[in-house]
């Protein structure tokens, strides 16, 4: 198995406003665009050629990774004018594959941080002569995922995407977003229209008696789709709880990138990342957080499990817990912000949260909708 299709066309809605200008897979995680970790792992497992299935902010992927030679990979980019859904994207990208009909092809979601042994998944697929083999994980709360019950031999019995009622939750095994397909099975997905691999392709394969297998693997696994998961994944990489050949420094309590300035009287902990050109002032305490390029945390501010966007500013003595601050936003001194809050790109939060006008900094339509005084948010899930 030398070829893969990478699904990176989603809009990263749950990570707005961070994803207003950067697609989720390119957000910096532990100092490098998130995908770098996954691509390095794929290369280490023997993958040599990857077709990116892009749609949202498509051109940024090629700008970042080019032809892939820097990572020892050959990369190609396919762009959907209108998003085709996960199955449609796989079918569309398959036009560029070179593998023969009987050969295995890796397909993976672009927002998963995992320690999966990809070579073992391939070996299991080949040995069992399956049509598709899915990586499965066990999770405590499977509601945000696809449920995949299997029988004693590992054959998939059903596929239920995003269960709605307690009765539907019949297993704790979920689709972990990484598959080995036998190439000819991809070619059977209808072309030229929106197809969900989870809601349409997998259920249809099961109904037609195809051999679909699930392999449960309990290595590290995280879907970085929410702000909480995003900071967690970054911190876990920095602290070495999951390994990546792409980590740009030694593991430890923090990762301070070149050009960042951290006052000797500041305390960084919990896998915090201080991005290039970012600044942390005297007496500030930053725990398990991500400061993106050029972000500024003033003296005595206290942050935990938060993300500060590019060139955003956190004023002196502010307290942020699980807050997402969009690019270029400013939080004036002395604010205590509650968990789950999201502040739009370019917004200004005055001292003690008294409403004045939002700053005129550039924002996308989505970001404008969130601007002004920050909204209590849906960051909880
Ligand atoms: N090219 C392309 N086109 N890619 C897409 C499209 C599309 O129309 N829609 C989604 N993607 C990409 C996303 O960028 C992401 O990498 C992947 O497909 C999955 O989309 P998400 O939006 O992250 O889905 P999810 O997390 O809600 O659910 C999926 O992943 C779970 C595991 O994390 C499903 O596959 C679930 O079954 C699974 O449990
Ligand atoms: Mg996801």
> Residue 222 Cα, ligand 2 centroid: separation in angstroms?
9
Angle value at C-alpha 248, between 242 and 250, nearest 5 degrees? 65
Quick one: pLDDT at residue 94?
97
Q: pLDDT by residue for the chain (381 residues), tens digit each?
A: 999 999 999 888 888 998 888 999 999 999 999 999 999 999 999 999 999 999 999 999 999 999 999 999 999 999 999 999 999 999 999 999 999 999 999 999 999 999 999 999 999 999 999 999 999 999 999 999 999 999 999 999 999 999 989 999 999 999 999 999 999 999 999 999 999 999 999 999 999 999 999 999 989 999 999 999 999 999 999 999 998 888 988 999 999 999 999 999 999 999 999 999 999 999 999 999 999 999 999 999 999 999 999 999 999 999 999 999 999 999 999 999 999 999 999 999 998 764 434 443 433 323 332 333 333 333 333
> Residue 37 Cα, ligand 2 centroid: separation in angstroms?
16
Domain 3-223 classified CATH 3.90.550.10? yes
Quick one: pLDDT at residue 64?
95
Q: Torsions phi, psi of 157, nearest 5? A: -95, -30
Name the residue with the closest Cα to ligand 1, atom 3: 9
Which of 122, 225, 135 lies closest to 174 in space, CA to CA? 135
Burial classification of residue 238, based on how many CB atoms lie within 10 Å of its CB (0-12 exposed, 13-18 middle, 19 or more buried): buried
Question: In whole angstroms, what is the distance from residue 110 CA to residue 243 CA?
Answer: 17
pTM summary value: 0.88
Extents of the domains making up the chain: 3-223, 253-349
Paired sense of beta strands 112-114 and 221-223, if any:
antiparallel
**Cα dist from 366 to 229, 277, 326, 329, 356, whole Å:** 21, 27, 12, 15, 20
Q: Torsions phi, psi of 23, nearest 5? A: -65, 145
Q: Is 57 in the pocket of ligand 1 (CB under 6 A)?
A: no
> Residue 38 Cα, ligand 2 centroid: separation in angstroms?
14
Evaluate whether 259 touches 45 at the Cβ level (below 8 Å): no
Q: Is 64 in the pocket of ligand 1 (CB under 6 A)?
A: no
> Residue 317 Cα, ligand 1 centroid: separation in angstroms?
39
Quick one: pLDDT at residue 11?
87
Which ligand has the nearest atom to the CA of 196? 1
Probe ligand 1: pick from 16, 177, 217, max atoms within 8 Å of CB?
Answer: 177
Buried b (16+ CB within 10 A) or exposed e, 100-134: eeebbbbbbbbbbbbebbbeebbbbbeeeebbbbb
Quick one: pLDDT at residue 353?
63
Kindly list the protein residues that place their beta carbon closer than 5 angstroms to ligand 2, a single-atom ion. 111, 223, 225
Atom of ligand 1 nearest to the CA of 8: 14
Quick one: pLDDT at residue 351?
86
Evaluate whether 345 touches 359 at the Cβ level (below 8 Å): no
Terminal Cα-to-Cα distance of the chain (whole angstroms): 36
Q: Is 145 in the pocket of ligand 1 (CB under 6 A)?
A: yes
Atom of ligand 1 nearest to the CA of 176: 32
> Residue 193 Cα, ligand 1 centroid: separation in angstroms?
17
Name the residue with the closest Cα to ligand 1, atom 7: 85
At the topology level, CATH places domain 253-349 in UDP N-Acetylglucosamine Acyltransferase; domain 1 (2.160.10)
Buried b (16+ CB within 10 A) or exposed e, 271-284: bbbbbbbbbbbebb
């Amino acid at each position: 198995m030398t070829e893969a299709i990478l699904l990176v066309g989603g809009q990263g809605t749950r990570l707005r406003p961070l994803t207003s200008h950067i697609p989720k897979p390119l957000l910096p995680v532990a100092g490098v665009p998130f995908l770098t970790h996954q691509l390095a792992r794929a290369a280490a497992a023997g993958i040599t050629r990857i077709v990116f299935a892009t749609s949202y902010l498509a051109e940024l992927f090629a700008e970042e990774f080019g032809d892939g030679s820097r990572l020892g990979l050959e990369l190609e980019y396919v762009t959907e004018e209108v998003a085709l859904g996960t199955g449609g994207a796989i079918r569309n990208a398959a036009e560029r594959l070179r593998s023969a009909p009987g050969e295995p092809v890796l397909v993976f979601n672009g927002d998963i941080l995992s320690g999966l042994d990809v070579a073992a998944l391939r070996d299991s697929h080949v040995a069992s002569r399956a049509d598709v083999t899915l990586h499965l994980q066990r999770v405590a709360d499977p509601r945000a995922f696809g449920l995949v019950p299997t029988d004693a031999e590992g054959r998939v019995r059903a596929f239920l995407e995003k269960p709605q009622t307690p009765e539907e939750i019949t297993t704790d095994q979920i689709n972990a977003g990484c598959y080995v397909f036998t190439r000819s099975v991809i070619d059977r997905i209808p072309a030229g229209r929106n197809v969900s691999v989870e809601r349409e392709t997998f259920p249809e394969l099961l109904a037609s008696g195809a051999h679909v297998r699930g392999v449960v693997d309990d290595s590290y696994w995280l879907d970085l789709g929410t702000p909480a998961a995003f900071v967690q994944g970054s911190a876990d990489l920095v602290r070495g709880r999951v390994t990546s050949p792409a980590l740009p420094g030694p593991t430890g309590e923090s990762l301070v990138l070149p050009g960042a300035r951290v006052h000797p009287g500041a305390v960084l902990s919990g896998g915090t990342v201080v991005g290039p050109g970012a600044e942390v002032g005297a007496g500030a305490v930053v725990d398990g957080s991500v400061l993106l390029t050029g972000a500024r945390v003033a003296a005595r501010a206290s942050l935990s499990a938060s993300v500060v966007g590019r060139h955003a500013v956190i004023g002196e003595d502010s307290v942020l817990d699980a807050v997402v601050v969009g690019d270029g936003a400013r939080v004036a001194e002395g604010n205590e912000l509650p968990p789950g809050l999201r502040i739009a790109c370019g917004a200004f939060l005055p001292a003690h949260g008294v409403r004045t006008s939002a700053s005129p900094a550039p924002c996308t339509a989505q970001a404008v909708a969130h601007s002004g005084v920050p909204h209590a948010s849906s960051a909880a899930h």
